[in-house]
Each structure stands twice: as structure tokens, then as C-alpha cells.
Structure 1
Amino acid sequence: MAKKSEATVEEKLRALYDLQLIDSRVDEIRNVRGELPLEVEDLEDDVLGLKTRLDKLKTDVETINFEIGAKKNLIEEAKALIKKYAEQQKNVRNSREFNSISKELEFQELEIQLAEKNIKEFKAQIEQKKEVISETKERLAERESHLKHKKSELDAILAETEKEEKALIEHSEKFQNEIEERLVKAYKRIRHNVKNGLAVVPIERGASGGSFFTIPPQVQVEIASRKKIITDEHSGRILVDPVLAEEEAEKMQKMFAKL
């Protein structure tokens, strides 16, 4: 292709349509991947979340077991005190001492009862958490299996298309460098604003490609003359004649076949 400033309108149109064909091919490859990368990412987040939840549940169980151990120690201490007070009660000298020790004995009995109640509640909590742990493990196994399957799918698609996509992107950048900056900017703006990213389209059955609006015969003649860059008044797309489009499509197909 001639230098940017020296290129004819026809050369510019051919370069723009070639760029469109390259970028459309990249779009096709990415559409094949579809939502897979996002699905994999979501599944990875799910797996991480479930693992974090499992860790917390296990820590909760450890904490409760520690609390049970503390209550059991308290019971043993209370029993030791009861035995001690019972011995002291045998040697009291008056009713005041007897009543004082009786109150201590009663308090320790209540401490044991409360501790036993707490232990029962803690054990119920552990059973409940064990059920949740079991359910979470099942869900985690299912999510991990699903993730493995989706990753395998994505890896297979990437293996098939990654090399081609990289080469196409390099070609796209090369073609952009060979086209006037103002045209590249216009192309990108149109591509961003239109359906399917098609910024340069051929005339098909008298209408702009992908459109139902008929192009007047005189405008079709102007487009076929390739003397100036013409855009579709309805969509803003750059228009090329079908002969040029077919010629460039054949040329680009040969290039794609080598990638």
C-alpha cells in the first residue's frame, strides 16, 4: 500500500475493509469463547467463597470444643470444691458457718448444672455446624467439578484460537498504522456504535450490509467509482461496493488460512 498521504481513496477503502475483516474475525473467535471466561471466573469465586466458609465453620467448631473443655474443667473444679465444703461442713462450730458453707455448696451445684446445660447447647451447635460443613463440602465438590469441566472447555478453545487471535491482533495494529489516523478514529468510533462491530460494509441487494434501507442508484454508482469515502446516512457505516468487498474477502481468507 502507498504511504498514508499518497494513498488513493480506493486503497484507503480496501485497507479499511481489510481491517474490518480482520477485526470481525477476532470478534468471531471471541464469540466462540463467549461467556466461558466469565463463567470460569464466577466459579473460581464460588470455590474460594465455599473454602473460606468451610475454614470459618471448622474454626467455629474448634472454638466451641475449646469452650466445652473449659466448662468440663469448671465442673471438675466445682466438684472438688463441693467435696472440700462437704468435709468442712462436718466440722462447723455454729449454724452461721453451716449456712455459709451450704450456700457455697448450692452455688457450686448451680455452676455444675449451668455448665452441663452449656455443654449440651455447645454440642447441639457442633452437630448443626457439622451438617452445614457436610452440605458445604458437597457443594464445594460440585463447584470444583464444574470448574474443572469449564476450565477444560476454555483451555481447549484457547489452544485452538489463541495463536490465531494474537496474529490477527498484530495484523490489525499493522493495518491501522498504514491508514490515516483520522480514518482509523472514525472507523473505531463507528465500530463502537454499531451492531456487531461492523463499521465498513458492502452494498448488498441495493442496501447497506445488514440494513433494510435502500441506497439510491446514484449513490451506489458513486460508491462503485471509489473516488470518495461514503457513509450510510442511516447507520453511519462506511460503504464499499460488492466487487471490492469480494476481492478483499478472498485475499484476507488466504491470509487467515496461513495463520
Structure 2
Amino acid sequence: MASVKDFSVEEKLVNLLRLQKIDSKLDEIQVLKGELPMEVSDLEDEILGLSARQTRIEEEINGIGEFIEGKKNAIKESEALIAKYEKQSENVKNNREFEAINKEVEMQQLEVKLCEKHIRDANEELAEKIKQLENAKKMVAVKEGVLNHKKGELEKIIADTVKEETELNGFSADARAHIDERLIYSYDRIRTSYRNGLAVVAVERDACGGCFNSIPPQRQSEIRLHKKIIVCENCGRILVDADLNDSVDVK
């Protein structure tokens, strides 16, 4: 096989045109998929974020539960101390000891009240966190439902087009192997510059098939000779004549 450099300009144009038609068919498949791949990816990211939020809320609920349990244990300890001090008060020998014991009882009673307040506040916060958790779970369920629907649509399209897409990717790689790097670089640069992905276009009705800018007769004659790569002076796309364009087909 001749090396890429040995191909004539006409052969290079044919290979470029073939590559363009292959890539255009691949573009059609991507259009068929539409925004689904991006939507699926966005939904997956959103669900990850919501799941992480749900986990954080669950951890906060567990933390509040542990806090309440700690305060309940503190109340039990204070009540035990109160019972102990009250028993001691039965055997006091003087007012000084009695007052000291009463002071300890009062301190533990205050500790009980403070713990009870902390528990009430924590229960209010717990109720709010439980509501947040329920909402987070509902949001995850809703998003997962949408995601499954979108995935189903995308998987059906992929199943319908996977064989054709695989073949076209193979054809694209083969076509690229027959074009020198400089032309491939130019081709890819032009393709990415336009939403329709057209880098190689035919002259149609005396105009560029990409931007519809008028092509002078002399320029059209040069294009038909296939002696050099000619680009549209307005949009920079590579130009080919209609006959060459019609002769190249990708089945």
C-alpha cells in the first residue's frame, strides 16, 4: 500500500470526503441520542449528591440520638445522687452538714432540669432532621425514577445503533489512516468550529455548501481539477466539486 504521502491530491480529497461522510453519520447517531447521555450523567451526579446529603442527615440523627441517650443517663446519675444525698440527710449531725447536702441536692436537681431542657431541644431538632431525611429519600426516589426512564431510552437507542456505530468508528479510523496528520489536524479543527461538524463540503449552486458564500467560476474550475486542497475564503471549510461528492458514498 502507498504511504499517506504518496497519495495524490484527488485521493486525499476522496479520503477526506469519505471521513466527513462517516463522521456525519456518527453525528446523526449522536443527534438521535440527543441530550440523553448528558442528562443521564447529570442525574447520576445529582443522585450522588442527594445520597451524600441523606447520609449526612442520618449521621446527624444518630448523633442527636446518642446525645439524648447521654442526657438521659446523666439524669439517672443525678437522680441516684439525689436519692443518696436525701438518705444522708437523715443522719446529719448539724445544720452545716444539712445545708451542704441540700446544696448538693439542689445542684443535681438543676442538672436534671438542664438535661431535660437539652433533651426537649434535641427532640425538636431530631423531628426536623427526620423530616429532612424523609424529603431527601423522596427526592432520591424521584430522581432515580427519572434516571431509570432516561437510561431506558438511551439503552434502547444504543442497542438500535451499536452495530452501525461500531462499524462507522472502524471506517473512520481506517479513513484517518489514509490522511496525513496535517490534513487531519486541519479537518478536526474545522469540524469543531461548526455545530454541524462539516469540514468538507461540496460546491452547490455556485456557492459553498457550508456557509453559502458565492464561489467564483475560476475557483470552481480549480476545485474540479483536484490539483490542490482549496478552502472557502469565507468559512475555511475544505471544498470539493459536486461530482466528486456524489462519487463517494458510505454504506
What TM bracket, shorter-length normalisation?
over 0.9
Q: Distance in 2 between matches of 1:77 and 1:2?
A: 93
Match of 1:227 in 2: 227
- State whether structure 2 residue 105 is matched by structure 1 residue 105: yes
Match of 2:8 in 1: 8
Match of 1:132 in 2: 132
Match of 2:60 in 1: 60
Is the Cα contact below 8 Å between 2:210 and 2:237 reproduced in 1?
A: no
Match of 2:163 in 1: 163
Percent identity of paired positions between Structure 1 and Structure 2: 47
Is the Cα contact below 8 Å between 2:210 and 2:235 reproduced in 1?
A: no
SS of the residue 2:31 aligns to: helix
SS of the residue 2:239 aligns to: strand
SS of the residue 2:196 aligns to: helix
1:82–1:40 distance in 2 versus 1, CA, 3 Å: same
Q: Distance in 1 between matches of 2:219 and 2:20?
A: 22
1:62–1:220 distance in 2 versus 1, CA, 3 Å: same
The residue correspondences of 1:128-207 to structure 2 (distance < 5 A) are 128-207=128-207
Query: Cα RMSD (Å) of the superposition?
Result: 1.8
Listed as ranges, the gaps of 5+ residues in structure 1 are none
1:223–1:61 distance in 2 versus 1, CA, 3 Å: same
1:48–1:190 distance in 2 versus 1, CA, 3 Å: closer
Q: Distance in 2 between matches of 1:85 and 1:113?
A: 18
SS of the residue 2:203 aligns to: strand
1:56–1:188 distance in 2 versus 1, CA, 3 Å: closer
Listed as ranges, the gaps of 5+ residues in structure 2 are none
Q: Distance in 2 between matches of 1:68 and 1:48?
A: 30
Is the Cα contact below 8 Å between 2:78 and 2:111 reproduced in 1?
A: yes
The worse-fitting range, judged by mean Cα deviation, of 95-104 and 22-31 is 22-31
Q: Distance in 1 between matches of 2:116 and 2:22?
A: 76
**How many matched pairs?**
251
Q: Distance in 1 between matches of 2:222 and 2:151?
A: 51
Q: Distance in 2 between matches of 1:76 and 1:16?
A: 85
Under a length normalisation based on structure 1, what TM-score does the superposition of the two structures give?
0.90
SS of the residue 1:196 aligns to: coil
Q: Distance in 1 between matches of 2:125 and 2:181?
A: 69
SS of the residue 1:230 aligns to: coil
Residue 133 of structure 1 deviates from its aligned partner by 0.9
1:91–1:2 distance in 2 versus 1, CA, 3 Å: closer
1:208–1:79 distance in 2 versus 1, CA, 3 Å: same
Under a length normalisation based on structure 2, what TM-score does the superposition of the two structures give?
0.92
Match of 2:210 in 1: 210
